[in-house]
Structure 1
């Protein structure tokens, strides 16, 4: 983008707001621009001005709550959600969004009540049914199953229908009706694939490019760590591998700040110029030391807005960053990578039963999930062998069997002193934005390890991939 273009765009967006001060879309467009530019405070200030002039504008409250949620300011967002439902108690969507934020901050009972209120107002709301399912520890009853079946008979498609099928998969599993459960999970994935396409060949092409670009020789010439520089800890792996648990453990250490799932590496790769899935990897191989250093500085600057402490380490827990392991070694030599591995069948099946938002392209069938797992393992193992010691692997099942031993080993690999708070991770009150939000607020248990076995007869595509 040419110099001055962002300012011109902002000027146009602000002019639209001035010309139509009651326009919801004009405010949405400007707030989106400001947040994308890392100026969430400016977006909040804009909406505060609206609320000062028109205190009874519920759309401004709703948009402000959405901005605060997007900026990972959940406690502030709760206050706004509560003001909104006080003004619009008969609207289902504010109750739904309130439930999402309550879940994030670890108030499951209140989240259930909010979702139930949304469903009382809109019984067919697939997003609210999925909100209950996403609590993981919540169990559906027979009345819920019948209510969801009625809702499905009236469903009109779209992501709400996808989420309703995922919720029904959970509800039938709660009744030990696993064939019906699997059927709804399969339907949910099939519908989602039509809305959020996934290209398995493109992922395999990317892995081949990674192997070609990030050779042992090139990785050996990567820059040396800068003493005193901010030290990111990247937590990567398959979705549903236990990465949120690892982040929760590290977030309970006094020297580590958790930033959740960040998209900045993906944006940096996309900004290199070649938009093909494997194109960025080839371009990285042509960059000089100064250009690589600039990319690392850009990453650190872009995540600065999410940092709220002076702790020397921070986590970036985006599972799909496995594809950028070599890039991380080039642009952030002081960084560390943790690869969280889970049993293939357990991990892939758990991903199959999980709703991923529209920004997350993921395989929508078991065969492609198995292939994705293989590609991820191939890419990470290649960088690990090419740059020994840069990646620390954590086996989820080993962590379950020996929590303290694995935590001590993990901290030692990160050059962190042992802290007993890491063993009490479930007491950490921080906001958690992933599907595992409720699970990581409980002590480690073995409840989900064998869940896949109830569906084993339908998992041949995963088993055959192992052969």
Structure 2
């Protein structure tokens, strides 16, 4: 396609095909460039609008994605893919009413569409609508005696529905029919691990988690990760903070909850969101994207030279991104907005450059429990360190090295909350957090599980129930398998 465009750069189909290839291989900026070029050449080319919408969604730019799918529907009002993609976008935004609307609209077009029914089932699961969820699963199983995506939904839902054995049997049937090496069963191996863990068959559970992760593949680049960690430490040293952060103003309304994945960041966001003067905004990709653009090939002098105008533009873009991603506008009465992207611990230098008065809450959990929980989670293929225990341990080491650096420089500007301490003394720790955020005490924060806010992250089930100790020292059930950690 590159050769075609060298010969004739005005062939819009070549730009679209190149955009699709870049999307598939993860080069999303290049994908956007070629898809937008195709639309400049042919503004009504439906495949370009559809693919551009998908890429924007992959970049967590859900409002832009919705605009693309809306344009696709203007050009092709009966487009089933556009309706399903609109449902997906609103699901990712947490607007489950709109997600349901679009999935149902797709089903009105095609009553037997599997993807739309699965999407609707996911909405019912997040909203804990047991009767509707059970009904749609039963309907799907009647239609499809063997179908991995249905088994995945059933596996995620069976604990809520109290139908663990039934889901287990359906998952086994799909694994047997599809074949042990089929990639379509990869999510089912994680679901089977979850069920066996629930049944306390820990050795068998570990075997299936291990098989699932081996099937994921993907190479974790340790040297590259070490270079990123080292660059952050060298760029953002004590001298940098003295000149560019300390004694600066701005960002008092921002709270960043950081830590390893599966360390309790979702729980902390839910606790704070239960306060009348705080609002959770989920996992925002903005700082990661902004930092990545500025890290590329830059030296210390260029980081030091980020202008006040550039910072002001970035602050405005962050708030607009927050609004687009979540629908949350700055509003009267809300004094703190919580961004809980865990891996923002890599970007504290950039975060505090833009928002010097931001609060940083660091969630920390026992390293063995943290690493094991990551290994047991069905993360996307891009989280390559999660597929091997040695790689998880290496990534944890990089996180520890970087957090030690930030804490040495920033001291008590970072509030560290240990997950285990939070479980043992929730009130004492919540009081510490609210005092740190300069928010008055509210009893509602202790009843975070009653918060009617719905989330669809991997931790959704934990934050919608009271704190229990069953997640503490879970690693001991698997101790004989954990030598790599």
Common topology (TM > 0.5): yes
- Match of residue 13 from structure 1: 39
**Structure 1 residue 319: Cα displacement:** 1.0
Q: Decide whether aligned partners of structure 1 residues 6 and 44 sit closer, same or farther in structure 2, where only a CA change above 3 A counts.
A: closer
**Structure 1 residue 47: Cα displacement:** 5.2
Counterpart contact for 1:106–1:438, Cα < 8 Å: no
Counterpart contact for 2:32–2:52, Cα < 8 Å: no
Q: Distance in 2 between matches of 1:280 and 1:137?
A: 49
Q: Decide whether aligned partners of structure 1 residues 369 and 77 sit closer, same or farther in structure 2, where only a CA change above 3 A counts.
A: same
Q: Distance in 2 between matches of 1:212 and 1:136?
A: 48
Q: Distance in 2 between matches of 1:6 and 1:250?
A: 36
Counterpart contact for 1:200–1:363, Cα < 8 Å: no
Q: Distance in 1 between matches of 2:357 and 2:65?
A: 29
Give the root-mean-square deviation of aligned CA atoms: 3.0
Q: Decide whether aligned partners of structure 1 residues 408 and 60 sit closer, same or farther in structure 2, where only a CA change above 3 A counts.
A: same
**Structure 1 residue 11: Cα displacement:** 7.4
Q: 1:247 aligned to 241, 251, 269, which one?
A: 269
SS at match of 1:460: coil
- Superposed counterparts of 1:180-329, under 5 Å: 180-192=204-216, 194=217, 196-223=218-245, 224-226=247-249, 229=251, 231-272=253-294, 274=296, 285-290=303-308, 291-305=310-324, 306-309=326-329, 310=331, 311-329=334-352
SS at match of 1:234: strand
Counterpart contact for 2:263–2:363, Cα < 8 Å: yes
Q: Give the TM-score, by structure 2 length.
A: 0.82
Deviations 1:313-345 (A, max 9, x none): 211111111111222122221211111011111
Q: Give the TM-score, by structure 1 length.
A: 0.85
Q: Decide whether aligned partners of structure 1 residues 370 and 451 sit closer, same or farther in structure 2, where only a CA change above 3 A counts.
A: same
Task: Find out whether 1:369 has 2:387 as its counterpart.
Answer: no
Q: Decide whether aligned partners of structure 1 residues 133 and 6 sit closer, same or farther in structure 2, where only a CA change above 3 A counts.
A: closer
Q: Decide whether aligned partners of structure 1 residues 428 and 126 sit closer, same or farther in structure 2, where only a CA change above 3 A counts.
A: same
**Structure 1 residue 282: Cα displacement:** 5.5
Counterpart contact for 2:407–2:414, Cα < 8 Å: yes
Q: Decide whether aligned partners of structure 1 residues 184 and 17 sit closer, same or farther in structure 2, where only a CA change above 3 A counts.
A: farther
Q: Distance in 2 between matches of 1:242 and 1:433?
A: 15
Q: 2:110 aligned to 71, 88, 96, which one?
A: 88
- Match of residue 196 from structure 2: 172
Q: Decide whether aligned partners of structure 1 residues 96 and 316 sit closer, same or farther in structure 2, where only a CA change above 3 A counts.
A: same
More displaced 10-residue stretch of structure 1: 411-420 or 172-181: 172-181
Structure 1 gap ranges (5+): 463-467
Q: How many residues align?
A: 444
Deviations 1:55-91 (A, max 9, x none): xx53332122123223432221112223333553433
Task: Find out whether 1:334 has 2:352 as its counterpart.
Answer: no
SS at match of 1:271: helix
Q: Distance in 1 between matches of 2:299 and 2:122?
A: 36
Which has the bigger relative contact order, CA under 8 A and spacing at least 6?
Answer: 1
Q: Distance in 1 between matches of 2:131 and 2:476?
A: 30
Q: Decide whether aligned partners of structure 1 residues 6 and 97 sit closer, same or farther in structure 2, where only a CA change above 3 A counts.
A: closer
Deviations 1:15-65 (A, max 9, x none): 75736xxx5x344124346766643553454355367x54xx533321221
- Match of residue 74 from structure 2: 49
